[in-house]
Structure 1
């Protein structure tokens, strides 16, 4: 995303719908000190000596993490996911969790990673770093259709390859904003069971989205088919860089003995980041303790804020793109029920060149959807992130976007530039 960063720095006065960041107005600097203090007090209350507490905070710690018990309890009370703490590895953000999971699961050139398309670029980037083969499964309006996944699995097997895992964001996906139904979740698990497939579930937007959420795939998982990747970047704060992986699958280690997949992730992690910073874990632990594990309750105000930001964005799109214009020009957008993103279809190529014109001429920045299609696609769509902006900024930004879209729609058609460009 170097190009997006460059555009943002060149046009600091532009309204940017590009970053999928939490809203900074929800943060209180003093809370960090309270979180750490609360965790240290809990260690003392549990019988830890002053020397033990000091060592825990200042020294290298266990590779798998020091707050696994708290994470396990939070998953149990907040998500209905009942797993032992030893099946959890605390990671440096969800991104490290993805890299460790892929490195542990993929062993040879026949192994294939299936991903939803459009797809979060973090997983495809990690896969490319590891030289993994990727096959896409195209999203429909309601998200991933299990029959499409099964067709992709069968095609890969017919070609002599081994579909190893399928990655998706089932709730308020980045970048599309789609959420799959309860029935689709059950059907995905059945497909996984029939074809000896693992599902890598990444769902960071649930507790910061309004309304009742669908159950996680992991909470429905009875056959240990789901590797669940979690993140506290949205529900606590991103600079802590704390994520985790629930990997309760039984595997054979190098010696032929049975172990948990989490143990294999920890072995790999020990060669990558050694351990996750204890100070960051302490801050997140304090937040979990303050919430009695129920981050969904603590984030109710955040969920309301993001829900309102989504409502304002949709309201302004309706205002500036009336139905007759949408119909004649071919402009449309989806209406997610939560998360940080939505997608807008436009009648022109929304590439880097168009983004530059948008930022330079109209003071508004967005993300080309083509970035999120590993096999091509999305050339006439843009992702809008509304999470980082105030209502006033959203109103001004959509007005600027409407001016840009009208101007771009009236431009004479020319040869499109290469999708993705220099990003």
Structure 2
């Protein structure tokens, strides 16, 4: 080791392609700070300020006082190590019941350090043997596939359609995996306005997917960070709200609804776990051991910030987020209109029209890779995300993801105009 460590001796996750792709995006953004970023999927920064932090803390402390905690107990609640599964279970369970019609006991809720930790905890707890694999929608959020690779768990892709996952395809893939001698343990998907595709599953397909999960003996990992941001008020029931057979583990986050700096996510796992003596516990309680070895517990101070936010909203995000929903609706409509205006006469360019969320996908007549993104940022002043980042194989090479969440409408329009110029200048001859 005289000259340093050999990179090949480090774990494969150090050079994981998904991590490398996200690092590349961050590096490109830093090098071209004046470029309009249609790449970033973060929430708009104008909704909250640092003064809100003090208010949320005061609100939560007043809540603890109403619960009967004396000053010493309130201080300990925020400043000491806390319960592994967190303190917000009652508030989150109330929120889910009001907003989503999801009825679960508070003990089924684990508060995590972002939804990313919830994914790691679920994967590590559920995949117990070398033959256990997880199915995942493709294209797939890189945080999930990266977490699986970090844990050494194989991800088997299930191709997505314009309407999200096809349940019959899920069943076919699960059967093929089992026929090959492996156990398909769980299926990961984002049923509402998925990242990266923007696709949503129709309600009949959601019901059929739960039937398929029972037939294939699958648990469903439902990730739902965008469900509140539809273009309309049409009900889109969460899979967990339709789940009568306890097949769904629900993954949630306050990054988009509150703010990402709090790093608060959660996991809802109300499945019964039975030991050899016949004793029953909830899956969330069993998974607490996994979480305790990752982060010990989620920051009580960060939980208090989100707790104050929930209390101020009456535990209804649908009520609290009306302004944000209007903003994101306007931005998505602006993006789709700008695509129509800038690309209407451009051969070989197609895009989808999601019913909500932060993202749209554009197919282009050229290879949309890191090299083109470099040119785009340097020479055209616009950034986007190659769709190839979200595929395990060679998919998505001629497509890109656009995000409209963090910008003002005028920036979206100018960003799409710049992108259109790039495509016109660089389009490959047919």
Shorter-chain TM band: over 0.9
Shift of 1:254: 8.8
Q: Provide the C-alpha distance between the structure 2 equivalents of 1:255 and 1:301, rounded to a whole number of angstroms.
A: 52
Output the TM-score relative to the length of structure 2.
Answer: 0.93
Shift of 1:39: 0.9
What does residue 267 of structure 1 align with? 289
Correspondent of 1:74 among 88, 95, 105: 95
Q: Provide the C-alpha distance between the structure 2 equivalents of 1:215 and 1:115, rounded to a whole number of angstroms.
A: 20
Q: Deviations over 1:233-260 (max 9, x none)?
A: 0011110000000011112459874321
Matched ranges for 1:206-217 at <5 A: 206-212=227-233, 213-217=235-239
Shift of 1:312: 0.7
Shift of 1:36: 1.1
Any conservation in 2 of the 1:136–1:375 contact (CA below 8 Å)? no
Matched ranges for 1:310-389 at <5 A: 310-322=332-344, 324-325=345-346, 329-389=347-407
Shift of 1:301: 0.8
Match status 1:398 vs 2:416: yes
What does residue 303 of structure 1 align with? 325
Match status 1:251 vs 2:273: yes
Match status 1:43 vs 2:61: no
Q: 1:89 to 1:255 in 2, by over 3 A?
A: farther
Q: Provide the C-alpha distance between the structure 1 equivalents of 2:374 and 2:286, rounded to a whole number of angstroms.
A: 45
Q: 1:382 to 1:254 in 2, by over 3 A?
A: farther
Shift of 1:305: 0.4
Correspondent of 2:33 among 12, 17, 31: 12
Any conservation in 2 of the 1:112–1:164 contact (CA below 8 Å)? yes
What does residue 79 of structure 2 align with? 58
What does residue 254 of structure 2 align with? 232
Q: Provide the C-alpha distance between the structure 2 equivalents of 1:16 and 1:209, rounded to a whole number of angstroms.
A: 22
Q: Provide the C-alpha distance between the structure 2 equivalents of 1:246 and 1:6, rounded to a whole number of angstroms.
A: 35
What does residue 172 of structure 2 align with? 151
Q: Secondary structure at the match of 1:228?
A: strand
Q: Secondary structure at the match of 1:281?
A: helix
Q: 1:153 to 1:405 in 2, by over 3 A?
A: same
What does residue 420 of structure 1 align with? none
Matched ranges for 1:124-139 at <5 A: 124-139=145-160
Shift of 1:110: 1.1
Shift of 1:129: 0.5
Q: Secondary structure at the match of 2:184?
A: strand
Any conservation in 2 of the 1:117–1:139 contact (CA below 8 Å)? yes
Q: Provide the C-alpha distance between the structure 1 equivalents of 2:275 and 2:232, rounded to a whole number of angstroms.
A: 42
Any conservation in 2 of the 1:253–1:264 contact (CA below 8 Å)? no
Q: Provide the C-alpha distance between the structure 2 equivalents of 1:346 and 1:360, rounded to a whole number of angstroms.
A: 19
Q: Provide the C-alpha distance between the structure 2 equivalents of 1:110 and 1:265, rounded to a whole number of angstroms.
A: 20
Q: 1:406 to 1:353 in 2, by over 3 A?
A: same
Shift of 1:51: 0.7
Correspondent of 2:130 among 81, 104, 109: 109
Match status 1:24 vs 2:45: yes
Shift of 1:135: 0.7
Alpha-carbon RMSD:
1.3
Q: Provide the C-alpha distance between the structure 2 equivalents of 1:20 and 1:63, rounded to a whole number of angstroms.
A: 29
Q: Secondary structure at the match of 1:209?
A: coil
Q: Provide the C-alpha distance between the structure 2 equivalents of 1:84 and 1:110, rounded to a whole number of angstroms.
A: 32
Q: Secondary structure at the match of 1:227?
A: strand
Shift of 1:20: 0.4
Structure 1 gap segments, 5+ residues each: 414-423
What does residue 163 of structure 1 align with? 184
What does residue 139 of structure 2 align with? 118
Q: Provide the C-alpha distance between the structure 2 equivalents of 1:146 and 1:206, rounded to a whole number of angstroms.
A: 20
Shift of 1:69: 0.6
What does residue 15 of structure 2 align with? none
Q: Provide the C-alpha distance between the structure 2 equivalents of 1:57 and 1:74, rounded to a whole number of angstroms.
A: 22
